Structure 1
Amino acid sequence: MCQTGIQAPIDEPALKGAQLAVELLNEKGGILGKKVVLKNMDGKSDPVTVGNVAKQLIDEGAVAIMAPSDFDFGGPASREATANKIVSVSPTASSPLYGSKALGDYAFTLSMWNTTMGAATAEYAYKEGWRTCYVVTDSFIDYTKSLSRYFINRFEELGGTVFFEDSYTQGQQDFSAQLARIKDLPESPDFIYISSYMPDLAMMIRTLRENGIALPVVGGDAYDDPALYQALGAQYGNDIVFDTHGYLSEEAHPDYPSFAEAWKAKYGDYPDETWGMPGYDVIMVLAKSMEKAGSTDGDKVRLAMESMEFDLFTGKLSWSDAASGHEPNKAACLVELIDGEPNFLGWVRPDKIPAP
């Protein structure tokens, strides 16, 4: 997992969630009667480094790999795991490339794919009566590009109209050209879909709001970031809807209070972002699968994972078999920002999911 660099804000809390899960498992006897040892090496948000440290961990005896939460950064770790017939799981990599077809039969992601993430918000928008949209796609990584693609696919299939798909590159810190094109439209869209992530995401939304564009803004799980809520505040943090992996409340999962108390006992405070839960869930999925398989052997564990349904803090999950890509069957958690604070709208499964 990446503890430094651009991927760290997502991976670091997932690692803390995994560490909590290991502690709780060991209190109950570990896995298959053996103590669980979790070792992390910093991938440094660099694909080459991720692949190298994954190989080192495997050489040191790792029986499973938790890979960074993005295809570009996590893929190299999963490829190394597959080469050694070891199961790998990414907590929240949502690209449809993250599965067995691109990364081999031992690779899984705990996340819904962008096919689900894009379709869920497209259907939400259409049900709200919004028929026209302006899309801005961050071109820096596969995640943002494929998320826009599947959103557009489903929105247009429903009968919606995308006025234009604009582009942006993370790190520019200048949204003036996109703003000008939006303001020059002959007709205002019903909403704006922005597929991007922090830190530039906050600047993009603030630029819209500071220039009088109060249209609803819709996006994906990268919006689920306390730094975004803080940057927007009550002044700019309204009419923003996104889908993500979970919500810090009993509304989203009845066992959340016990998770929150365990987190506080270990880390001194309650969790303030959802990204810890997927890391926790990865360890619990591996534990249940190894127990069912009666082994840590990669072939036996992956077959167990393909055959089970898991009730997780991040939603109920099952996977297709390796021949079908290990496609995750998972709901999306819809959230709305109101006065800069996240509010749970519910779990949703799209009526139709685009083909990956």
Structure 2
Amino acid sequence: MTKTSFKRGVVAGLTTGMMMGGAALAQDCTTKIGAVLPTSVDWGKPIAATAQYAVDLANEAGGVAGCKVEMVLRDSQVDPKVGVDAAKALVDLDGVQMLLGAVSSGVSMPILTSVTVPAGVMQMSCCSSSTAFTGLSQEGKTKGLFYRTFATSGVQAAVGAMVARDQGYKSVAILYKNDDWGQDIGKLVAKDLEALGISVTGSVAINDAQPSYRAEVTEALKGNPEALYMAIYPKEGTSVVREWLSLGGTQNMIVANALKSDEFRDNVGLQYLGNTIGTDTASPRSESASAFVSQYTAKFGSEPNGPGLSNSYDATMIGLLAMEAAGTGATGTEIAAKVSAVTDPNGTPITADAAGFSKAKEVLAGGGTVFYQGATGNVRFDDNGDVSAPAVMWSFTETGTEETQYISLEEVDAFMASVK
């Protein structure tokens, strides 16, 4: 499967997903959910397509609370202002009570604080990892309306430090995106590296859309680091790495999952990325996670190799199940309150497909609870709406990326405890 044909499959998924999900749809009412996702960037389209796929499966199972679900999708452009404006339109004009989004903590946070919490709308993020959300919840400022299916930045930061240790690097420079996510993971990885006795020669912020990053790269090169850690996005990442290499920087690079992108690989050149090791959270080695890979491949013609795809699927499915549990006309607060009823370890296990959704509808209608077995495993949220997850190390290949090491949840937790 070529990159071009994969993109065609994604576009087809987005296009057909806005139509009815199949002959099983007989509802005479429509319930809207909102989605603020970065469809204008190469790696964002599959995230949106995956969310729409979950909506299609729910509709195939008869919809939610007796109504067909329509996902109203707006592009965030990975820009906080654009994201907030999109979220406001979805809440004020479309009247959504559940919002999927966003990608990037720097976009999700202002949506949460200025749109969804004030309006009492539930927000379910697939791809926001900043620990600032945890702090906000602990202060009672999320009002129980925020959930995310992506583990906190602490996991990727710890695994990034683990990579540096395993590679024997004695010094590392850090380049991070200057937003909530980048600042958070940059701070955490610096702390973990230093806890391992690895010198952090510099930590430099990267702002969006600069004509040149020579000054930032020059600053990061001071101290002649053995390796570079990056928590930035593909567009800026391409420019940064080109500057880094042209100024004599090492090809020993450790990257967060935001750079797990064909766009970044192709624009930099695979020949310069041979020593690059990526990190990401991962699905557990479970039957439900394997089933999602097969399901996704059958739908889109390629395995889910991009960032956030399994997380996007689970975020959407869990949100829709909570809407089903809350019933017709439920408010965002009522929907959020039902998340525990569809991720209950003592509930009836259900699969992450149309058949599982149908079974969940029956169980919930009878007053029971269900335990969603998803693309990221058996999803369980803590009191702050956070999840834990295993992790992987990966490398770039000619056709995408490949996993090089799997780190179990127990191993992740043990390592994180050791660096604390």
Q: Same fold (TM over 0.5)?
A: yes
Identity %: 18
**Residue 374 of structure 2 corresponds to residue 312 of structure 1:** yes
In structure 1, C-alpha distance between the alignment counterparts of 2:117 and 2:219, rounded to whole Å: 45
Match in the other structure for 1:172: 210
Match in the other structure for 1:61: 95
Letter of the structure 2 residue corresponding to residue 259 of structure 1? Y
Range with greater deviation from structure 2 (285-294 or 104-113):
285-294
Range with greater deviation from structure 2 (225-234 or 333-342):
333-342
In structure 2, C-alpha distance between the alignment counterparts of 1:32 and 1:57, rounded to whole Å: 20
Change (3 A) 1:71 1:340: same
Aligned residues: CA RMSD: 3.4
In structure 2, C-alpha distance between the alignment counterparts of 1:272 and 1:13, rounded to whole Å: 10
Residue aligned with 2:200, SS: strand
> Cα offset for 1:132?
2.2
Give CA deviations for 1:14-46 in whole Å, capped at 9, x if unaligned.
221111111111112223443222112344555
Matches within 5 A, 1:190-339: 190-245=226-281, 253-255=289-291, 256-264=293-301, 273-292=306-325, 296-306=330-340, 308=343, 310-314=372-376, 316-321=378-383, 325-338=384-397
Change (3 A) 1:225 1:258: same
In structure 2, C-alpha distance between the alignment counterparts of 1:293 and 1:131, rounded to whole Å: 53
Residue aligned with 1:145, SS: helix
* Aligned residues of 2:251 and 2:273 also touching (Cα < 8 A): no
Residue aligned with 1:25, SS: helix
Query: Larger RCO: Structure 1 or Structure 2 (Cα < 8 Å, ≥ 6 residues apart)?
Result: 1
Letter of the structure 1 residue corresponding to residue 72 of structure 2? K
Change (3 A) 1:331 1:104: farther
* Aligned residues of 1:154 and 1:353 also touching (Cα < 8 A): no
In structure 2, C-alpha distance between the alignment counterparts of 1:92 and 1:297, rounded to whole Å: 24
- Structure 2, unpaired ranges of 5+: 1-35, 346-371
* Aligned residues of 2:78 and 2:103 also touching (Cα < 8 A): no
**Residue 165 of structure 2 corresponds to residue 126 of structure 1:** yes
Letter of the structure 2 residue corresponding to residue 261 of structure 1? A
* Aligned residues of 1:93 and 1:109 also touching (Cα < 8 A): yes
Range with greater deviation from structure 2 (67-76 or 14-23):
67-76
Give CA deviations for 1:325-350 in whole Å, capped at 9, x if unaligned.
33332233322225684111324443
Residue aligned with 1:21, SS: helix
How many residue pairs match? The answer is 343
Letter of the structure 2 residue corresponding to residue 90 of structure 1? S
Task: Tell me the TM-score normalised to structure 2 length.
Answer: 0.70
Q: 1:95 aligns with which of 120, 130, 146?
A: 130
In structure 2, C-alpha distance between the alignment counterparts of 1:252 and 1:28, rounded to whole Å: 19
**Residue 28 of structure 2 corresponds to residue 27 of structure 1:** no
Match in the other structure for 1:137: 176
- Structure 1, unpaired ranges of 5+: none
Q: Which has the larger radius of gyration?
A: 2
